[in-house]
Every structure is written in C-alpha cells, then in structure tokens.
Amino acid sequence: MRVLKELPRLLMVVMVLAVFNLAACTTSTENDPPQTGDPATNNPPSETSPPQQTTTQSAPSTTQATPTVTHSRPATTFPTSAPPVTSITSTQTPGTTTTAPVTTTTQAEVTVTSPPTTTHDPYSHYRGYLLEGYPEDIWPLYESVGIESCSLSVHYPAYNNLYSGYSNSYSVVYKSIVDKADIVEHYLELLPFPQESSWYDAIGVIDGYTLSVRVDAGRSPADVYISVGLPDDSGMTYNPLMTGFPESQFPLYEVNETWAEIVVVNSNPPSGEQFSEIYFSHSGTASEALGFYRGLFAGAEGYKEVTVEEWQGEEVTLSGYMHGYNFQIVVGVWGNSEIIQIKLVQPL
C-alpha cells in the first residue's frame, strides 16, 4: 500500500529527471554537434522514436527507469536580427558597344530668290486706241498712259441745221500723268494763234483743222479731252469705218435721209467696246416703224422696251441681243417721230 501511495511521487521524480537530462543533452548537442558516421560501417542512422511511457511494476524495491532517448537534430542557427541579405552578383558579359557615327547636320544656306519682277501696267485696262485717219501729227496726245475712247463722227447736211455741208470730227479722251499746267502749255505752244475760251483750256486752228483741249485734273491721272474737226475740203461724205455695218440683219426702215454715222471704241469693261451708230429719217410713221422693228427683234435675247418723254415728244427704245450684237433701236430720237437711231455694240 505504501508503495502505491508513493508511486505518483516517483513518477514525478522520473519525469523531472527526464526533462533535466533532455535539456542537458540538448545543450551538449548544441555545443558539440553530432559527428557524421563513418560510411564504412554501413550502419543506418538511428531512428528517433517517440518517448515511451514508463511502466512501474510492483516490485518489492526495484524501480525501473525508462531509457532516455535523445533526439539528435542538426543545430539551427537563427539570425539575431534581420534575415541575411542574399547578395546576387550579376556578371554581365560585356557586349560590344557599337557607337553610331555622329551625324553632322549641315544647314544649307537658304537662298531667297525673289520672284521675277513683273512689269504691271496699271493702265492696261484702257483698251481704247486711235481710230484710222486721226491726224496725230497735227494734234498729238501728250504724255498719254491710256486711251479711254476715240470716235469718228460724220454729220450729214441734214443733221447740220445751221451748216449746209458735212461736219466731221475725231474726239479722244486719254489719261496723262503730268500736271494740268504742263498739258495746257504743251497744246498752247502748238497753236499759232490761240483763241480765248471759257470752256476749253486751249483752242485754235492749224492748217484748217479746228482743235481744242480741255483738261480735267479732278482725277489722277488727269482726263484730257481733245477734238479735231476735219477741214471742209477733206472730201469725207460718209464714215469710212461704217463699211461693215450689217444692214441686212438690222435694216433701215423707210430711209429718207441719213443724218449721222458714228464709230466709237472705248475702254468700257470688261474688255472694251466698239459700236457703230446710224441716224436717219424715215418716210413712215412712228407706230409703223415700231411695228416693223418689234416684228424683227421681239424674240431677241433680253429684249425690252423703254418709253420716255422728250422735249419734242415720245421716244421708244427697243434693246436686246441678236446676231452677235447688243442692239438699241430708238424710234423718235429726241422726241422727233421722224428720226430713228440704230446702235450696234460688240466687245473689242
């Protein structure tokens, strides 16, 4: 009975001794790491068995202690602070470095080539010109930069109520770049006997030609108006520039007398114009003449009629485009029902 009572104490003592021995062995192992067995012995490594439970038999005085099994495990060294830094040495095989040749950019000198000098005539839009027969040697243009217009008018005796013969003249409008005083002086020097005038800047006669000039300096260049009246013995009894008048396409209704024939060239846009006019009296009535021309031209492109009251009566103008001409036919010129005018216009 006494042995049974003391058995727990004995077990406690055994366990304390076992723990103490285990600690001692661990310390010894840490201080003296286990030796690697000789491979020649071919002894297998000892197996670690779990601790056996100690059984105490009821012997009279003999206590059998459980053999102590020592677990041999390699010593593990723990770092005291941070984990070891693994230094990875990367050995980079030096490659062949090819250095690209330095490109030298040479900035070419910029040569600025000015566009070719264009000679622009600011007066090139003046398309007028001197008509054939103009006596330039008698009454020349002075420092002209452009001709606005030129005309040749032949007035028949029927037109000249106060003059029984023909009255023929050239009229010119041109542009001059010099001062008005210089222009006037030039023409005055040409006249052997200048005449006084409140309208003209210079007027006179040279070899039977009646000459005049008037300068309008209100614009620049100045507008110069000159006229040349042909001598009475010129022998001109019709307008020589009217020979191409298309009378078959624009007939003269019941002609009685020709009053005037006029040819003009001018600089009207876009390219200048040339027109011819004929004035004549007729033996019919105004209403008959209107009926005749309406029948011929009422179907013309852009046809229209305009009626105005003139000092002598009614004037009716028919206009349009036909046969390659812009036309105007006036019945009752100046209100005189006996007079008809036909005007044909073409671009230059």
- Taking only the tens place, the pLDDT of each residue in 114-143 is 656 666 677 888 889 999 999 999 999 999
pLDDT for residue 47 is more than 50: no
40-52 mean pLDDT:
42
Residue percentage of the chain with pLDDT more than 70:
65
Angstrom distance (rounded) from CA 346 to CA 151: 15
Band the pLDDT of 326: cuts 50, 70, 90.
very high
pLDDT for residue 172 is more than 60: yes
Residue 268 has what pLDDT?
Answer: 86
Residue 42 has what pLDDT?
Answer: 44
Residue 61 has what pLDDT?
Answer: 42
322-328 mean pLDDT:
97
Angstrom distance (rounded) from CA 251 to CA 322: 13
Angstrom distance (rounded) from CA 133 to CA 61: 177
Domain edges within the chain:
124-234, 238-348
Average pLDDT, the chain: 79
Residue 31 has what pLDDT?
Answer: 43
pLDDT for residue 312 is more than 70: yes
Pairwise pLDDT comparison (23 vs 276), residue with the higher score:
276
- Taking only the tens place, the pLDDT of each residue in 238-280 is 999 998 899 999 999 999 999 999 999 999 888 899 999 999 9
DSSP-derived pairing of the beta strands 255-266 and 202-206: unpaired
- Taking only the tens place, the pLDDT of each residue in 54-109 is 444 444 444 444 444 444 444 444 444 444 444 444 444 444 445 555 555 555 56
Angstrom distance (rounded) from CA 46 to CA 20: 22
Pairwise pLDDT comparison (1 vs 216), residue with the higher score:
216
259 burial (CB, 10 Å; 0-12 / 13-18 / 19+) is: buried
283 Cβ contact list (under 8 Å, min separation 6): 254, 255, 256
